[in-house]
Amino acid sequence: MIETLYYRGYQRMLKTASYAMPWREPELLEGENSLSQLPKLIKDQNIESVLIVTDEGIVAAGLMDNFLNELKSEGIQFAIYDQTVPNPTIENVTEAAQLYHENYCQGIIAFGGGSPIDCAKIAGVRIAKPDKSIQQVKGLLKVLKKLPTMFIVPTTAGTGAEATLAAVVSNNKTNEKFPIMDHSLIPDFAVLDPLLTKNLPPHITSTTGMDTLTHAVEAYIGKGNTKNTKNWAIEATQLVFENIYEAYSNGDNLIARKNMQKAAYLGGKAFTRAYVGYVHAIAHTLGGLYKVPHGLANAIILPYVLEYYGESVHTPLAELADIVGIAEEGDTEEEKSDKFIQAIKDLNESMEIPQKVEGIDNHDIPIMVKRALEEGNPLYPVPKVLFKNDIHNLFQIIKA
């Protein structure tokens, strides 16, 4: 089809251009109690006042208490925006940016899971581009301006947002959820402290961990991968298969927690360069319209999309099956691919993740199909280009 040729040409052009793009990686603080190093690091950047973007749950759990005292000890002033909601909204972003200006802040700390991190990043966009609405910077490479210094403190092991050029925001007026992607959104610093994830509820551990696996798999099977992104995706996939159930069932295991943090970071590095696919495009529509948590949506959708891709993913999924040790000698590529998909389903079942998405209304499917296609085509270098009927079929498959 003409559309497929156009999409593939666009993707090849983008992949070629990516080699000249200003990629960078955040400076990392890693390991137990690494959060305690952050106040001095902030002071060393000659920053005297910061905006902390978080949510009410983080504040209520007291996760920031010691950190706030350490900021005070270093003489660093701070304002806290804690109204971030799951699937953060344009209103959240606007309020956070306003608080930044009111307190003469010089940097932003995102403290929490994917929602506070997305909110913080896009608040940074709002601060850097005050003359543009959030809708006007939707999509790829429309910011092109330095954001305030960004420090990311993830409290889940899932999004990998500490390594990515992407953030996602919801428009409450249209119930649309859309990404903003620009190299300026790559954070300057990130803290990977496993102690912050120790008390995560099991269902958050499982769904955010499956979000990591989705990042790694979609990056690996797509046509936008490079040698580096494939290696990062492979390592992330291995780490998830080796550690997610242990982290889920034994939250005090800091080795498993640390390994899941590493997997999330590597998955983030992989997909921010190689992109994702229709799993994410569909998941974003569910988050926008029904507020389905992103990790949960990805976990449910992933095996069905992989099955739908069919022969186009047999080779890469067979490779992943070999890597995680679930294939047997003599298996065909198709058999290995099937085993890998089944292993994903088994992981979901073992962690009580539902098989289908509840609450999808058939009347909403056309608009979700439209939005998923607008996000996915032509940007995502998926193994097989899908069209309106395909995405419609997938919604019918995933709905309860």
Amino acid letter for position 106: Q
For the record, the structure tokens of 189 come out as 């610093």
Query: What DSSP string describes 290-352?
Result: H---HHHHHHHHHHHHHHHHGGGGHHHHHHHHHHHT---TT--HHHHHHHHHHHHHHHHHHTT
Measured distance CA(124)–CA(101) in Å, rounded: 11
CB 342 within 8 A of CB 350: no
CA 105 from centroid of its chain's CA atoms: 26
Mind listing the pLDDT tens digit for each residue in 247-301?
999 999 999 999 999 999 999 999 999 999 999 999 999 999 999 999 999 999 9
* Residue with token string 């608080």: 99
SS3 378: coil
Q: Which residue has the tokens 């092109």?
A: 144
Q: In whole angstroms, how large is the CA radius of gyration of the chain?
A: 20
For 366, the token pair is: 């056309």
Size (the chain), residues: 400
Whether 58 contacts 82, CB under 8 Å:
yes
What are 129's strand-pairing partners? none
Q: Rounded to an integer, what distance in angstroms lies between the CA atom of residue 219 and that of residue 222?
A: 6
Beta strands in 132-202 (DSSP E): 139-140, 149-154, 166-171, 176-181, 189-192
- Angle, nearest 10°, between helix axes 388-398 and 365-376? 120
Question: Domain map of the chain by residue range?
Answer: 22-197, 202-398
DSSP 26: P
The rounded average pLDDT for each run of 10 residues, N- to C-terminus, in the chain (400 residues) is 94 93 95 97 98 96 96 98 96 98 98 97 97 95 96 96 96 92 97 96 97 98 96 98 98 97 98 97 96 96 98 98 96 98 98 97 97 97 98 98
pLDDT digits (tens, 9 = 90+) for 42-89: 999 999 999 999 999 999 999 999 999 999 999 999 999 999 999 999
Tell me, which fold does domain 22-197 have in CATH? Rossmann fold (3.40.50)
Phi, psi dihedrals of residue 134, rounded to the nearest 5°: -60, -40
- Residue 161 carries which side chain, given as an amino acid letter? A
Q: Which CATH superfamily is domain 202-398 in?
A: Dehydroquinate synthase-like - alpha domain (1.20.1090.10)
Give pLDDT, residue 1. 81
Instruction: Provide the pLDDT for residue 232.
Output: 98
> In DSSP terms, which residues pair with 77 in a beta bridge?
49
CB atoms within 10 A of CB 65: 10
Which CA distances in Å does 153 have to 64, 113, 210, 214, 354?
Answer: 10, 8, 20, 21, 29
Close Cβ partners of 40 (under 8 Å, ≥ 6 residues apart): 74
Q: DSSP label at 181?
A: E
